[in-house]
Structure 1
Amino acid sequence: MAVAGDAAHFQKVRIQREDTTFDAYVVGKQDAPGVVVLQEWWGVNNQVKNHATHISQIGHGYRALVPDLYRGKVALDAAEARHLMEGLDWQGAIKDIQASVKWLKENGSPKVGVTGYCMGGALAIASGVLVPEVDAVVAFYGTPSSKFVDPSRALAPIQAHFGELDTYVGFADVTAAKSLEEKLKSCGVPHEVHIYPGCSHAFMNTSPEALKNQGAIDLAWSRFATWMARFL
């Protein structure tokens, strides 16, 4: 198995949408169901590639694709990450996601899900509303602005994961999680919203804190696997 986070085992592809192209990184079996994996506000770093590698090896395997929404930029600190996220064209990012889903379907994946973390989690939920080609969504600790998208109009099944101690008010805290759940109840698509006791924001990432949250991480991955297997 390739070393997690090692770019060598990813295939770099160029994806066309409208009058622009962007890079994406693909790993996994070509004819497997696809999963578009969306970055945190940092950009396409080793953390999101580690998640994609893990996803590619779940169950019978998935073909994971990480689109570079920032066009090569990767933040080194939180201030820069916030600047990059605030500068992101979210409508354009949704078009990137749609093009990524279509690319996977045109290149051997019969069905395609979308997952994401933090900013990517919010975009994953938005894609479940705005991109009809999406077959399932799993979002981690992020919700889209109500000005951008209304989750009560979701088309795809959505599963979402949040940490009980998350302090990103209105975006990923318990209040945001429960608000999302209420909206999903009204749309009629299958949905699950899970809140993990003792966990803060970004609890799925490799960090010293992750060691004490390993049970929650394992449970979240198990739920992810079950959800994607059900719909993909």
Structure 2
Amino acid sequence: MAVASDAAHFQKVRIQREDTTFDAYVVGKQDAPGVVVLQEWWGVNNQVKNHATHISQIGHGYRALVPDLYRGKVALDAAEARHLMEGLDWQGAIKDIQASVKWLKENGSPKVGVTGYCMGGALAIASGVLVPEVDAVVAFYGTPSSKLVDPSRALAPIQAHFGELDTYVGFADVTHCHGDVSGSQVVGGEAQVLWGTT
């Protein structure tokens, strides 16, 4: 399936949380189930918008929303991305995710899941614990800091995916995540290692 990176497909919306507002980008049918698609450490770039577009076109369709956690900043290299990620207010990002989930539900989506890669994966798992409105989480390569959240206290089913051969150490503590997610009281929680992949 070809996925266009044309931003014209997205509707830019302003979302209110209790203490501030932020921009988000929405694509897909209004009454479809919703998916909050979280950025990697780069920011809201064409790659994350392509993921959202692809998700919106799967099956009968989804409504995908990408919240701008960096407030318009996009990294051009790894050093800048690291700087932006290290400066991120993670509790504030969780509030953005919660407001995004609520926005989708208030605007026609009957159920809303959260997904993300790397930093976005860590935030997705955290949202499955801290945001009661989240209905499901799928995370790719990312585990939240134990200072932020305990995945064993998940409120929503969490499915986490990791590559067995991935040698980067940082966000992917698959052993810790597997025990926590699989040990939660929520039906459907699992951490999966994709054997032979990076």
Band the TM-score falls in, shorter-chain normalisation: 0.7 to 0.9
Distance 1:231 1:132, change over 3 A: farther
Q: Following the alignment from structure 2 to structure 1, what is the Cα–Cα distance between the partners of residues 154 and 185?
A: 20
Mapped contact 2:128–2:155 kept (Cα < 8 A):
yes
Give a deviation string over 1:4-45, Cα, whole Å, max 9, x none: 221010000000112311000000000000000000000000
CA drift of 1:220 comes to 18
Compared CA separation, residues 109 and 151, structure 1 to 2 (3 A): same
Q: Relative to 1, partners in 2 of residues 1:133 and 1:18: Cα closer, same or farther, differing over 3 Å?
A: same
User: What root-mean-square deviation, in Å, do the aligned CA atoms of Structure 1 and Structure 2 show?
Assistant: 5.3
Shift of 1:3: 5.3
**Structure-2 change in CA distance of 1:2 and 1:171 (3 Å):** closer
Q: Is the 8 A contact 2:161 2:191 kept in 1?
A: no
TM-score when normalising by structure 2: 0.86
Secondary structure of 1:72's partner? coil
1:60 and 1:131, CA in 2 relative to 1: closer, same or farther beyond 3 A? same
1:167–1:173: 8 Å Cα contact kept in structure 2?
Answer: no
Counting aligned pairs with the same residue, the percent is 93
State the aligned residue count: 190
Alpha-carbon distance in 2 for matches of 1:102, 1:159: 21
Does the CA contact (< 8 Å) of 2:26 and 2:66 recur in 1?
yes
Q: 1:64 to 1:222 in 2, by over 3 A?
A: farther
How many angstroms does 1:169 deviate by?
2.1
Q: Report the Cα distance in structure 1 between the residues aligned to 2:184 and 2:50, rounded to whole angstroms.
A: 17
In the superposition, relative to structure 1, how do residues 63 and 229 fare at CA in structure 2: closer, same or farther (>3 Å)? farther
| CA displacement at 1:96 relative to structure 2 | 0.1
TM-score of the superposed pair, with normalisation by structure 1: 0.74
